[in-house]
Amino acid sequence: MRVGYIGLGIMGKPIARNILKSGFPLVVHNRSQAAVEELVHEGAMCASNPQEVAERVDVVFTNLPDSADVEKVVLQEHGILAGAHPGLIHVDNSTIKPTVARKIAMLLAEKGMRSLDAPVSGGDIGAINGTLAIMVGGPQEALEVVRPIFNAIGKTITYVGEAGAGQIAKAANQIMVAAQMVAMGELLIFAQQAGANPQKVIQAIQKGAAQCWTLDTKPQRLFSGNRNPGFKAGLQAKDLNIIMESAHEFGVPLPMTAVNAQLYQAMLQNGMQDLDNSAVIAMIEKLANTELTINS
């Protein structure tokens, strides 16, 4: 299968690289050319716009910041829809609103194309190592066609349901991720201010009922003073906005998620959008008028 990948950011570039390493002919396109040139040097081919990508491949992936970006790349002049041909499958690794995923799937189906919403989880580490969790919505027969590509980028592939179901699963994932990041920030500052060593506290609780990916992955980065992004706080805030808008559409109250959304919005207002999503601890530090002790 010939594969196209549009959107070569923190997640998209390593995902595309793993597709290329697995032997699939790869055509790439990105707004910034540095990532394109890097992958071309490794054996990929470049395209001047999304239409050209779609025209040259059997499966075209997108991995873009928000719902409007995906709509634009798919539906605009010189977009994916303009390059549509029989059998083309669109796979969206972005995190967008479920209603937008359904709209795109419907419009592509009218042109004889199949579309999968397939957001991913696992951060930049999972993208680099090819161990992402992939949540899939759309026609199951299309999933079976692209499964060999998914096997190159992910460890867990779950078919959730029809169009939009993958995005619903990702929204649920992000509800939990945000809750874990905020809870971790709170427990670290609580432990420190109450007089215990936060690193020892993590060791004490991370193999018990509190065990989770966040406690396994993030504390040592914070203790070393590393708040650089694996997953940017700005994108976490965007995902939470998607969740709150979708919750309003579906009539679902999400009181704790609403609070977490405000904490990430506060990060944006403090210019922290490019820090890691675990850096939400900075908002807890501000509220407590303290800072987490960094290893010297």
For the annotated catalytic residues, the residue numbers are 170
**DSSP collapsed to 3 states, the chain:** CCEEEECCCCCHHHHHHHHHHCCCCEEEECCCHHHHHHHHHCCCEECCCHHHHHHHCCEEEECCCCHHHHHHHHHCCCCCHHHCCCCCEEEECCCCCHHHHHHHHHHHHHCCCEEEECCEECHHHHHHHCCEEEEEECCHHHHHHHHHHHHHHEEEEEEEECCCHHHHHHHHHHHHHHHHHHHHHHHHHHHHHHCCCHHHHHHHHCCCCCCCHHHHHCHHHHHCCCCCCCCEHHHHHHHHHHHHHHHHHHCCCCHHHHHHHHHHHHHHHCCCCCCEHHHHHHHHHHHHCCCCCCCC
Phi, psi angle pair for 72, to nearest 5°: -65, -50
Bridge partners, residue 60, by sequence? 4, 90
In angstroms, rounded to a whole number, what is the distance separating the alpha carbons of residues 124 and 143?
A: 23
**Paired sense of beta strands 120-121 and 132-137, if any:** antiparallel
Bridge partners, residue 159, by sequence? 136
In angstroms, rounded to a whole number, what is the distance separating the alpha carbons of residues 157 and 143?
A: 10
